[in-house]
Amino acid sequence: MSDCLFCRIAAGEIPADIVYQDEKVVAFRDINPKAEVHLLLIPREHVDSLNAVTPAHDELLGYMLRLTAKLAREQGLADGYRTIINTGPGGGQVIFHLHLHLLGGKGLPGFE
């Protein structure tokens, strides 16, 4: 059993409010939302961070970004949204399984 929280969510071992999943990715609501809509998109494959990405992941990353736009539309974020990938301790990364934050709607924090 993996000791990575997001691997365990992807495997269904830990519950999450999943809004989309397929064979490559899972999207679920952040447990501590920073805006009205706050989703986390993760690859099913464990990748520590953006720093661990290789050319073999190019297709996966493109897929995740396209899916982000689709999920934003489905979440009603026609006016726009913010995407964030925190990388490493200095970038505020707390969970070391690559994830993309999709934020939008009321309460979207400033970019300070």
Angle at the Cα of 70 from the Cα atoms of 51 and 109, rounded to 5 degrees:
65
Shortest Å distance, C-beta 27 to Zn ion: 15
Active site residue 99: yes
Catalytic residue selected from 38, 97, 99, 101:
99
7 belongs to the binding site for ligand 5GP (CB under 6 A): no
Identify the bridge partners of residue 29 per DSSP, sorted by sequence position. 39
Shortest Å distance, C-beta 19 to ligand 5GP: 11
CB under 5 to 8 A by kind: which of ligand 5GP, Zn ion, none does 7 bind?
Answer: Zn ion
**How far apart (Å, rounded) are the C-alpha atoms in residues 105 and 54?**
33
95 belongs to the binding site for Zn ion (CB under 5 A): no
108 belongs to the binding site for ligand 5GP (CB under 6 A): no
**How far apart (Å, rounded) are the C-alpha atoms in residues 56 and 31?**
30
Torsion on CA atoms 5, 10, 11, 15, rounded to nearest 10: 70
Catalytic residues: 99
Residues that bind ligand 5GP (CB under 6 A): 5, 16, 28-32, 40, 86, 92-95
